[in-house]
Amino acid sequence: MKAIILSGGKGTRLRPLTYSGAKQLVPVANKPILLYCIDNIVQAGIKDIGIIISPETGHEIRNAAGDGSSRGISIEYITQEVPGGLAHAIKTARDFLGDSPFVMYLGDNLIGSGIERFVREFMNTSPDAFILLKEVDNPGQFGVAEVSGEGRVLRLIEKPDVPPSNLALVGIYIFSPQIHRAIERIKPSGRGELEITDAIQELIDMGCNVKSLVLDMWWLDTGKKDDMLTANATVLDEWLRGNIEGETDDASRILGRVAVGRGSVVTGSTVRGPVVIGENTVIKNSFIGPHTSIGSNVKVVNSSVEHSVIMDGSELRDIERLEESLIGRNVKIVRNNKMHKALRLMIGDDSVVEV
């Protein structure tokens, strides 16, 4: 079995961050989302991975994921020249996939477990497609499935006005080579893309066996700022292990599960977990609240930060309260007046903000 990870697209919902970087590399608990996807695939025993990249951000993806040799796997990069839809991405990867069954993993999706049991279920039952579903409150914003009591998929609709169920398609799929035949038979949708929902529906119409499983765990599509912050909080809550590798002085209080990277220094501060702090970061006379990830080479001085993600190389100085914010790389936020307000920000890379 092989796998493809979709890491192209323009990331419009995460702008301005994605003007200067790939959305799949935005960190959750200080680890790029893409690397969670790769880990899940490798843990399922799959060693041949193709990563679909765009011309604009492909070099960043290559630099972050490498060739896979350090993990004992092979990673091949496949350029999708235009974002023509999920089914178009499979078509673009046709030579890489050959006649192998494969996992398709959207590179901005996180779920609360590995995918081993889903791969095992596919191999044991040999359907032509195995899709994961999740009950959602807003099914009209997703591809939606109508299923039988036995989990057989009867019908799929992309972003329906009147959803037939509340079961949304999760961004992880497993296909047999039959999916290629189905893709050849469909036409672009009204938005000019080859939709994966149309391809799976074509499999159903062809009489192929399409099975589903409803997830009983969390699933996060990290396409927007609030989704990213929710993902960060969830991963910190469930997966963070406290580990202090840096230095903390006697005037500081470390409460709950906190990870501090090598070379980092915490002085005169309170850090209330779950919190992760990267390497060579300085936290001075500050409060770092729960559900916060702070990257490497960051400076936080005389500031309070809660429920936020601050990426590498940024600096906060004299900020009374920053909350529910997603701060890009090499951002500088400093106070130049004495107004007392909570700040809620989403700032792209290489920015300077005075408040």
Q: Are residues 174 and 283 in the same domain?
A: no
Q: What is the pLDDT of residue 8?
A: 75
Alpha-carbon distances, residue 154 vs 90, 282, 316 (angstroms): 22, 55, 53
CATH number of domain containing 337: 2.160.10.10
> What is the rounded average pLDDT of the residues 145-164?
85
CATH number of domain containing 101: 3.90.550.10
Question: Does the pTM exceed 0.75?
Answer: yes
Backbone CA torsion sign across 181, 187, 189, 191: positive
Q: Are residues 107 and 192 in the same domain?
A: yes
Provide the number of structural domains found in the chain: 2
pLDDT of 196 > 80? The answer is yes
Residue 42 lies in a domain: yes
Q: What is the pLDDT of residue 9?
A: 60
pLDDT of 198 > 50? The answer is yes
Q: Are residues 205 and 317 in the same domain?
A: no
Residue 255 lies in a domain: yes
Q: What is the pLDDT of residue 222?
A: 72
- Residue 311 sits in which domain range? 240-354
Q: What is the pLDDT of residue 337?
A: 64
Q: Are residues 209 and 260 in the same domain?
A: no
Neighbouring residues of 219: CB distance < 8 A, sequence distance ≥ 6: 109, 110, 111, 112, 132, 134, 170
Q: What is the Cβ-side half-sphere exposure of residue 24, based on CA atoms within 13 angstroms?
A: 29
Q: Is the peptide bond before 164 cis (omega within 30 degrees of 0)?
A: no
Tokens 């494969």 belong to residue: 102
Q: What is the pLDDT of residue 103?
A: 98
Average pLDDT of the chain to the nearest whole number: 90
